[in-house]
Chains A and B, each alone.
Chain A
Amino acid sequence: MTAEQILFLLTGALILGSALMVVATRKLLHAALWLVAALFGVAILYAILQASFLAVVQVVVYIGAIAILFIFAVMLTRREMRDQGQQTRTNWWIAALLGLLILAGLVFLILAVPGADRLPAALPEGLDTVRALGNALVSPEAYVLPFEVASVLLLAALVGAVYIASVGKKD
């Protein structure tokens, strides 16, 4: 057991515990706050993987924006289903069974695939991951198409969200 393995296991426990609270807690606002804890755990994983840019983006975008949007949405619809009332469907055990089945299948596959126990590849000498990412995103032989398509997706989301949310803006 190296220090890094212990850190990974602690982070994994944080992620999975928080994720379980997200799906299990009755209060929706608490579920959104548990999501923040799970997202922070994923940011620590990115740091362990030395994907520093992803770690920062995870904190800034996921925790700083997406989780806040969830909390806003909870507050905008909060008179409905506050604390009282059934929060899960009556046939939730089928969902639990399906989740366990998929988990078992995936774990079986992961352990069966050769090379799943490989150790991380050596980082190339002097590799600046943010610089390499910038090159990859705009160079024509790499990912310039997903990059431009992402802007179209963001445009569609912007127009759609503004239109849907401001129809009949009275209250």
Chain B
Amino acid sequence: MLLEYAAIAAFIFVTILVGFIAIILGMLFGPKKSTDVKAMPYESGMNPIGPGTRRMPVRFYLIAVLFILFDIETVFLLPWAIVFRKLGVFGLVEMAVFIAILLVGYIYAWKKGALEWD
């Protein structure tokens, strides 16, 4: 039973290992001459605008809130969808009520302009 998760554990272990190997190889063989250009955030030539620690606009937060709440809706949808055929019309009506209630919030966020970037 727990062996079903062995593949996931192996996957996580290998990803961590690969990350460490890449860093250690770079530390061992890479030249360590640091210049001002190399220390810039974007070595490729983009000049940073303002400090990296400045505050982000609140729109990012609005998008994240919408994502999290509809993510939870998916959590409820998934077990329902697996038994959907057996439940018949009754289950469909219940899920329709569930989604209709959340749709009100979606329309509110839409009208409020939370879905637009500008």
Contacts and interface: CB of A to CB of B under 8 A. Distances in A.
**Do A and B come into direct contact in the complex, CB within 8 Å?**
yes
What does DSSP make chain B's interface, helix, strand, loop or mixed?
A: helix
A47 B9 CA distance: 11
B72 interface: yes
Contact of A159 (B56, B98, B99, B108): B108
Interface in A135-169: 135, 137-138, 144, 147-148, 150-152, 154-155, 157-159, 161-163, 165-166, 169
B75 A61 contact: yes
A165 B58 contact: yes
A135 to B, nearest CB: 5
A131 B82 contact: yes
A60 B68 CA distance: 10
A171 B104 contact: no
A21 interface: no
Nearest to B57: A171
Q: Contact residue range for chain A?
A: 35 or more
User: Contact residue range for chain B?
Assistant: 35 or more
Given A151-B101, A155-B105, A162-B114, A134 B67 contact: no
A67 to B, nearest CB: 10
B1 A50 contact: yes
A169 B66 CA distance: 17
A33 interface: no
A4 B1 CA distance: 11
A47 B65 contact: no
B101 A152 contact: yes
Interface of B: 1-2, 5, 53, 55-62, 64-69, 71-73, 75-76, 78-84, 86-87, 90-91, 94-95, 97-99, 101-102, 104-106, 108-109, 112-114
